[in-house]
């Protein structure tokens, strides 16, 4: 294991760096960044690598403007200091008015602690391992639906479906008949290019979950996470969390876990098609290489590109003065590719014994679903590669990017 120590002197991009950025990407990514520029979708890791290498604190002029930190040290500095960098102003830049805040993601302690301490036990490894058989059986049912055809569009036929089934069936226990519309609602509610449809699908899932929570609160308890959320938690002032906070927790859990896992699964299957030696290691010695590969895939195919915090006071960050109220994005995808910390960071290597990454976040908001995500990834790779060990990618995959990144299409044949 060889991680490099981190430098503490921050050097701003030079005029040459700026000129080169304009030549390569058609814009100055250091002073005029835009998460929604199509070039960020097309040349995602190149842009992130340039930010990591050359720019401690980048700036975007879109909307109210926001800052971005990508170097590992600075992402940690922000993520580990919730008093200075608050999540209560939401995680997205230029947040539309009226959008409800989602807990535990968009709040600070003590409210955050009240929720996380009750939620954590339901997502721990001991509870999650009981879902393994069901997830593997679902993975095989999906594979059954296309294996004889010799081809599939992997995203819509597998990787966008399995994480939804895993979550809705095992964690929420919703009626099976509702699965398809929920899975579609989460996918389109996160990524639909038609913003009206995106809002409508998000609204549908929001409403469904609110009604489901109500219905469950009136039924005999099943002892699961939904019962816990429906009962609510006690806040510091002695009051019980209002109903809308409980619904927001259910929505946060739902949207946090599905599209994210889709991207890691799809990208790994895409990469393995071109990397037979790695595939062989996974098939021959899964106990050694699966856990390593899962961390490495999460590191390099980071679905949560960047999430933000609001400065609660004037603060110096990476050599730049930020003001109270400024919004700063932590580029988690960058922190995981920082050569100051990860040796040979641009190379995908599933034999790394320790993979230092920030794909699941840093600090108190660190992903609550990481155990479930890892289980889904392992089940997929083992079941898919066992049944379809030889396959090829027949069309260039397509992607969608913003503060999240996902794959839209991946056409495979065998």
Using CB under 6 A, list all residues that contact ligand HEM.
91, 104-105, 116, 167, 252-253, 256-257, 260-261, 264, 298, 303-304, 307, 332, 359-361, 365, 367-369, 372-373
Question: What separation in angstroms does the CA of 176 have from each of 173, 234, 237, 273?
Answer: 8, 32, 39, 33
- Minimum CB separation of residue 194 from ligand HEM in Å reads 25
Considering the complex, what minimum distance in angstroms separates the CB of residue 327 from ligand HEM?
A: 13
Q: Which pair of structure tokens corresponds to residue 25? A: 């990407």
For the chain, how far is it from start to end, CA to CA, in angstroms?
Answer: 37
Q: Which is nearer to ligand HEM, 56 or 256 (CB)?
A: 256
Q: Is 109:82 a contact under the CB 8 Å cutoff?
A: yes
Residue spans of beta strands (DSSP E) within 128-267:
151-153
Cβ proximity of 293 and 406 under 8 Å: no
CB of 62 to ligand HEM, least distance (A): 20
Which residue lies nearer to ligand HEM by CB, 18 or 329? Answer: 329
Cβ(230)–Cβ(246) below 8 Å:
yes
Q: How far is the CB of 195 from ligand HEM (least distance, A)?
A: 23
Least separation, in Å, of the C-beta of 82 and ligand HEM? 10
Q: Are 22 and 28 in contact (CB under 8 A)?
A: yes
Residue whose CB is less far from ligand HEM, 105 or 383? 105
Hey, what are 52's tokens? 């990591």
Residue nearest to ligand HEM as judged by C-beta position:
369
Using alpha carbons, select from 179, 209, 213, 185 the residue that is nearest to residue 199. 185
Choice between 25 and 154, CB closer to ligand HEM? 154
Of 28 and 376, CB closest to ligand HEM: 376
CA distance 362 to 333: 12
- Is 78 or 152 the residue whose CB approaches ligand HEM more closely? 78
Tell me the closest approach of the beta carbon of residue 87 to ligand HEM, in angstroms: 6
Task: Report in angstroms how near the CB of residue 253 gets to ligand HEM at its nearest.
Answer: 5
Residue 368 to residue 338: CA distance in whole angstroms = 24
- Which is closer to ligand HEM, CB of 143 or CB of 268? 268
Helix (H) and strand (E) counts for the chain?
A: 18, 10
Give the C-alpha separation, 302 to 211, whole Å.
32
């Amino acid at each position: 294991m060889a991680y490099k120590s981190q430098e503490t002197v921050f050097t701003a991009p030079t005029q040459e760096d700026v000129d080169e950025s304009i030549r390569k990407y058609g814009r100055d990514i250091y002073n005029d960044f835009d998460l929604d520029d199509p070039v960020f979708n097309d040349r995602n890791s190149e842009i992130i690598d340039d930010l990591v290498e050359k720019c401690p604190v980048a700036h975007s002029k879109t909307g109210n403007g926001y800052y971005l930190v990508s170097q590992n040290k600075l992402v940690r500095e922000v993520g580990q200091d919730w008093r200075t960098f608050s999540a209560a102003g939401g995680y997205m830049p230029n947040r539309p008015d009226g959008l409800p805040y989602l807990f535990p993601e968009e709040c600070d302690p003590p409210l955050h602690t009240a929720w996380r301490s009750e939620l954590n036990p339901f997502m721990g490894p001991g509870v999650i391992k009981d879902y393994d058989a069901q997830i593997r059986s679902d993975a095989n049912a999906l594979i059954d639906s296309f294996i004889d055809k010799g081809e599939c569009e992997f995203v819509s036929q597998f990787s966008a479906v399995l994480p939804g089934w895993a979550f809705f069936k095992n964690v929420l226990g919703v009626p099976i008949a509702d699965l398809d519309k929920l899975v579609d609602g989460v996918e389109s509610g996160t990524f639909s290019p038609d913003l009206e449809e995106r809002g409508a699908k998000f609204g549908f899932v929001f409403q469904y979950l609110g009604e489901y929570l109500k219905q469950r609160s009136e039924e005999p308890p099943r002892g699961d996470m939904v019962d816990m959320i429906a009962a609510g938690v006690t806040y510091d002032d002695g009051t019980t969390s209002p109903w809308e906070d409980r619904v927001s927790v259910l929505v946060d859990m739902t949207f946090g876990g599905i599209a994210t896992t889709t991207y890691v699964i799809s990208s790994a299957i895409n990469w393995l098609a071109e990397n037979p030696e790695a595939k062989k290691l996974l098939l021959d010695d899964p106990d050694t290489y699966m856990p390593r590969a899962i961390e490495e895939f999460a590191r390099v195919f980071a679905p949560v590109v960047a999430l933000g915090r609001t400065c609660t006071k004037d603060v110096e960050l990476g050599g730049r003065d930020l003001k109270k109220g400024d919004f700063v994005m932590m580029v988690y995808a960058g922190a995981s590719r920082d050569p100051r910390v990860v040796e040979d960071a641009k190379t995908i290597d599933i034999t790394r014994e320790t993979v230092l990454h920030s794909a699941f976040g840093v600090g108190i908001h660190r992903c609550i679903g990481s155990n479930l995500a890892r289980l889904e990834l392992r089940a997929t790779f083992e079941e898919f590669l066992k049944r379809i060990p030889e396959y090829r990618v027949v069309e260039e995959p397509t992607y969608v990017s913003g503060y999240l990144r996902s794959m839209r299409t991946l056409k495979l044949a065998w």
